[in-house]
Chains A and B, each alone.
Chain A
Amino acid sequence: MSASTFGSGIRRREDPRLITGSATYTDDINLHGTLHAAMLRSPYAHARIAGIDTSQASQAPGVVAVYTAADTEGELAPAPCAWLLPNSELKIADFHCLAKETVRYVGDIVAVVVAESQYQACDALDLIEVDYEPLDTVVEPKQAAATNAPQLHAGIEGNQAFHWTVTGGGDIGEAFEKADVVVSETIVQQRLIPNAMEPRAALASYKPATGELTLWSTTQNPHIVRFLCSLVTNVPEDRLRVIAPEVGGGFGSKIAVYPADFITVFCSKRLGVPVKWVESRTENYQATTHGRDHIQEIELAATADGKITGIRATVWAGMGAYLSTAAPGIPTILHGLMLSGVYDIPAIHEDVYGIYTNTTPVEAYRGAGRPEATFMLERLVDLLAAKIGADPAEIRRRNFIPKFDDGHDVVTGLTYDSGDYAGALGKLLDEAGYAQLRADQAAARENGRYIGLGLSTYVEICGLGPSQVAGAIGFQGGLWESAILRFHPSGKVHVMIGASPHGQGEETTFAQIVAGELGVSPDDVKVIHGDTDNTPMGWGTYGSRTTAVGGAALALAARKIREKAKIIAAHLLEAAVEDMDYEDGKFFVKGSPDSSKTIQDIALMANVAWNMPEGVEAGLEATSFYDPPNFVFPYGAHLAVVEIDPETGHVELKRYVAVDDCGPQINPVIVEGQVHGGIVQGIGQALWEEAVYDEGGQLLTGSMLDYAIPRADRLPDIEVHSTVTPSPHHPLGVKGIGEAGTIASTAAVYNAVIDALQPLGVEGVRMPLTPERVWRSIQDVQERN
């Protein structure tokens, strides 16, 4: 590999268009004759629709059409749930694109207006009269699971969408019976709003003459959109082209294919003209999927010297009013299977109840299940440390899985690939100056200052994943990736790839992979993605899988090219293929590097094909499909330092130090950027963010005025370090880094706050750790004493 490209922090290839305002996001596309759609959304969280009168709206200026559920009969199937979790009594309620008879959350679509301008469409929404008969609502998952709770869906008893369990290792009951120490806690993993900066949008353009439809979509996975959209709207997959143009962040919220997307397609089909829909931020908060929303009752059994002997948990996961595209897999497969974390735990049992509530559907949100698992473990381990009077770092060391480099089985059934968890923690403690920080903390306490240190050590599952496993766990798709690598006569390269990056920088990292494998300049490699007509099949960008899976497909395609190029080079140099050597883009006879053929020489010859070896096809192009043999398991150790103002409850994040191991880093600058962003999202959960509903199902944090997204002025510089442990089964050894920061940081900050409050006797505070919550926790203890 060329050291100058693979592993180098080169500037991103995608940036020139982004910094000049010339990038094209979905809402930036203006097709001639486009009409504009606006969705009428239910203001009630649960109500029967007694009647809808659209007559006035239909007559409003500029209005071309108004549709309700009755108009789409037979033309729009319900929005599908595509993760059919097995052995879980899964009950999928129909998620009608336009509500029929009943609305079940504030944001459920009741009607759509299509007009000549967005202003006119919005005006007409006010003229639609809907007669709602309000029904009782329930917004909290454990309450929704209780008897006597309002029922959302006929035939789905107790609002239970599924009940999934994981049991592994020894007898969990016995572990707790024999335990010297048991610690337990109830945790509310509050509901979060992903807040990709680009709101969701869809532009559908149907050509009646050919029956072809192009859909521009703000999606993380255009091929899945094509597949599901063809099923729901009856546009055959061969006539349906889905383009993810520039996409402004997703964080999981652009995985699902939404009712509004299907409705936009329906409108274009029905009217025969392009129709565009762009959500407002208010709509985004109401109807684009949320994340987390767990109530976790957790307990840990251990020996007197702090060796963990068992973990037991019951989780109520709020799913919202309907099951979104991938929703059932998030609080189960991506959560429960990770309950061993970085620790050697002999017995684990978890029950997860997926519960319907009168709220926005919940989906993957950065980390997706793994932050919730890490948080549980890291709380329990800190509770254990407090209980037996050990330092939190020491208790972790006592329980870590020892260093391994080629597979380690945990009792939940997973086989981790490689890891040195104690190594990561050791580096963290050194870089942070942990011993000194503890000394400073003690001194500060003497002076009445409340400083806290919080650790979080994590392992995550990513690079999703072996397709055979996908099938076994009910995911209704494959999880491989594919790449086409094509050399043009001048030696320039096109990469067509099914993955669909949207900010992660893979146009650059993929070019670096090609450069590393074939010795070309990354500047000579154009990466084409996000268009189902121009790229091979792919399953999308989520679960930190794009570089891990798509990158592997690309590396394998490059290696195929190298093999073919070697044959051509041997022919041109009149040598035997076995005698050929390759180095940094040059092919030569072993021992004679001065007489060589460059990859560009061979690209030209292969394309003109004037002098090809017998039986070798023209062209220099390869396609590769990579179906990973296992997941990859990045890991790390993070530390947060906070100070609390006990008078007001304000938390100041003073320092944040991270050590992450994602294997070899193709572009360390991009890796660092992913770590920064991920950590800040997790800090947001700990300190500021929460989607709050009132009892009637109204979203009280319904805009950016109320929902607190981290801002620049409230954050310290994050200190980023790494260790490098290659994955033994991956062609490049790489793991994934997109979600690591978020998975680790919430627990680190939370643990730091609890550590700071320890002298005051506070044991737990509900997240987010707002000044009032922290202040009240202090008051409560003082009142009790």
Chain B
Amino acid sequence: MKIPISVQINGRQYDREVEPRLLLVHFIRDTLRLTGTKVGCDTSQCGSCTVLLDGVSAKSCTCLAVQADGASITTIEGLAGTDGLHQIQESFWNKHGLQCGFCTPGMIMASQELLRCNSDPSDEEIRHGLEGNLCRCTGYQNIVRAVRDAAGSMEGGSQ
């Protein structure tokens, strides 16, 4: 039995029928072919699948697509809008906050959540705010630098 759902992703409306068991991340990746969002684990630990669900961060591997019916979702592809890079993306680039890039979409979305909740975080608060996202390449240090840089650049400015 498929269920009709209607979801807005990155500003675009999608109406689809889905199996109840379909995970949101599979809906995003496999049904809609928005493959920027990643799957890195099966226990909600790694954070590679982090998206913004109605404005707040969520692990899309731990949410059914049917639960997101009616929601507005932002994935890494939609973070910056139509032109250029979002400041967090720019800061990750400038501060070498990524290596293999696989955790990066989730890490950037988690950083967006972090800065939404705290626009001027300390390094400790940044490290704490990223506790749900694993990176095996960077040792996190340049990710912390990137988030700090983004916070500085976004201060008082537009996001």
Contacts and interface: CB of A to CB of B under 8 A. Distances in A.
A705 B85 contact: no
Interface stretch (A76-84, A128-136, A241-249): A241-249
Contact of B142 (A246, A502, A673): A673
B85 A19 contact: yes
A717 B123 contact: yes
Nearest to A704: B45
A681 to B, nearest CB: 7
A25 interface: yes
A56 interface: no
Contacts of A680: 139-140
Interface string A9-24: 1011011111111111
A677 B46 contact: no
Interface in B65-124: 75-77, 80, 85, 89, 92-94, 96, 98-105, 108, 123-124
Given A197-B135, A712-B143, A282 B42 contact: yes
A28 B108 CA distance: 19
Contact of B102 (A248, A704, A710, A712): A248
Q: Taking chain A's interface residues, is the majority helix, strand, or loop, or is none over half, making it mixed?
A: loop
A76 B44 CA distance: 36
A11 B93 contact: yes
Interface string A668-703: 011011001111110000000000000000000001
Centre residue among A18, A19, A505, A703 by max chain B CB count within 10 A: A19
Contacts, number: 179
Nearest to B36: A21
A712 B99 contact: no
A709 interface: yes
B134 interface: yes
Contacts of A14: 101
A484 B89 CA distance: 33
Contact of A709 (B80, B99, B136, B143): B136
Interface string A109-130: 0000000001100000000000
Interface residues of A, number: 59
Centre residue among B41, B75, B105, B133 by max chain A CB count within 10 A: B41
A24 B102 CA distance: 10
Interface string A165-198: 0000000000000000000000000000001111
A623 to B, nearest CB: 29
B13 interface: no
B43 interface: yes
A677 B42 contact: no
Interface in A23-40: 23-25, 27-28, 30
A203 to B, nearest CB: 13
B77 A21 contact: yes
Contacts of A672: 96, 142
B101 A676 contact: no
A612 to B, nearest CB: 42
Interface in B12-60: 19, 21-22, 26, 29-30, 33-43, 45-46, 48
Centre residue among A17, A705, A713 by max chain B CB count within 10 A: A713
A198 B135 CA distance: 10
A58 to B, nearest CB: 22
Nearest to B133: A712
A219 to B, nearest CB: 13
A718 B134 contact: no
B99 A504 contact: yes
A715 B40 contact: no
Interface in A459-511: 502-505
Contacts of A119: 19, 21-22
Contacts of A673: 96, 99, 137-138, 142
A281 B43 contact: yes
Contacts of A679: 139
A762 to B, nearest CB: 28
A687 B20 CA distance: 41
Q: How large is the interface on B (under 10, 10 to 19, 20 to 34, 35 or more residues)?
A: 35 or more
Contacts of B134: 195, 197, 704, 709, 711
Contacts of A55: none
A717 B36 CA distance: 29
A672 B135 CA distance: 16
B159 to A, nearest CB: 16
A610 B74 CA distance: 55
A280 B85 contact: no
Contacts of A670: 96
A677 B127 contact: no
B45 A677 contact: no
A502 B89 contact: no
Contacts of A248: 38, 100-103
A353 interface: no
B128 interface: yes
A251 interface: yes
B114 to A, nearest CB: 11
A199 interface: yes
B136 A681 contact: yes
Contacts of B139: 676-681, 710, 715, 718, 741
B155 interface: no
A119 B29 CA distance: 14
Contacts of B102: 25, 196-198, 248-249
B16 to A, nearest CB: 15
B62 interface: no
Contacts of B135: 197, 712
Nearest to A669: B96
A710 B38 CA distance: 20
B93 A197 contact: no
A175 to B, nearest CB: 39
B123 A713 contact: no
A195 B127 CA distance: 20
Interface in A711-747: 711-713, 715, 717-718, 741
A713 B134 CA distance: 11
A14 B99 CA distance: 9
A672 B99 CA distance: 12
Contacts of A28: 29, 35
Given A195-B134, A196-B136, A713-B128, 17 more contacts: A11-B93, A15-B92, A15-B93, A18-B104, A20-B77, A20-B89, A118-B26, A197-B46, A199-B39, A246-B100, A249-B99, A281-B40, A503-B99, A673-B96, A673-B138, A712-B130, A717-B144
Interface of B: 19, 21-22, 26, 29-30, 33-43, 45-46, 48, 75-77, 80, 85, 89, 92-94, 96, 98-105, 108, 123-124, 126-128, 130-131, 133-144
**Those 9 A-B pairs whose CB atoms lie nearest each other, nearest first:** A21-B36, A503-B100, A248-B102, A18-B101, A680-B139, A21-B76, A676-B139, A28-B35, A704-B45
26 contacts: A11-B93, A11-B94, A15-B93, A15-B101, A19-B98, A20-B80, A20-B85, A20-B89, A21-B36, A23-B101, A197-B102, A198-B38, A198-B102, A246-B101, A281-B41, A672-B96, A673-B137, A676-B138, A676-B139, A680-B139, A680-B140, A681-B139, A703-B43, A709-B136, A713-B124, A717-B141
